[in-house]
Structure 1
Amino acid sequence: MRDFFIRSFEMLVNVIVVLMVVFWVIAVIGTLIGPAGAMGVPKGVAFVGALVGGGIYVVLMAGLLYMGLGIYQNTKRTADALEARTGV
């Protein structure tokens, strides 16, 4: 049962990362076709800000999510290896 929840969480993380990328692309496109930003920010500045800032955010959040899954997988492999070595 535990493996079911871990696999489900891995699929959920994949879906979340794909949605983050999709919404980031929509936000970047929205800065180009929408009106000038609040307080007179030019479209070019808003576009670069959304492109760079959103890209950094997506990479950082996706990296943290996948790092958490990687830590779990490494811990599981280490426990299995120690179990096999001790013959328990």
Structure 2
Amino acid sequence: MRDIFIGLFDKLVGVFVIFLCLGVLVGTGVAFVAPAPNGGLLPALGILIGGSIYAIMVGGMMYLFLGVYHNTKRTAEAIEELAKR
């Protein structure tokens, strides 16, 4: 049952990262076409750069946590295999 939840979380992280990237792109487009005091090229670049860094860091941390789980699982399986010898 635990593996089902971990697998679903893995898929959910992928979908979440895609939505983060799409949100950054949409926000950049909206900021670019907004009227001059609140929009333009400079705010759009700020949203693109800041949002991209945010998406990379959040997505990277989620994948890091999943990687730690998978590495721990493989290590435990390897130790059990050595213990059988």
* TM-score between both structures, scaled by the size of structure 1: 0.89
Offset of residue 51 of structure 1: 1.1
Alignment correspondent of 1:52:
49
Q: List aligned pairs for 1:54-69, cutoff 5 A.
A: 54-69=51-66
Equivalent residue of 1:84, what SS? helix
What is the letter of the counterpart of residue 60 of structure 1?
M
Name structure 1 gaps, 5 residues minimum. none
Asked whether the equivalents of residues 17 and 55 of structure 2 are also in contact (C-alpha less than 8 Å), the reply is yes
Query: Which segments of structure 1 move beyond 2 Å, counting only runs of 4 or more?
Result: none
Question: In the alignment, does 2:67 pair up with 1:70?
Answer: yes
Which ranges of structure 2 fall in alignment gaps of 5 or more residues?
A: none
Q: TM-score, normalised by structure 2?
A: 0.92
Amino-acid identity (%): 36
Q: What count of residue pairs does the alignment treat as equivalent? A: 85
CA distance in 2, matches of 1:54, 1:42: 16
Matched residue type, 1:16: F
Is the Cα contact below 8 Å between 2:32 and 2:39 reproduced in 1? no
Q: Are 2:3 and 1:21 equivalent residues in the alignment?
A: no
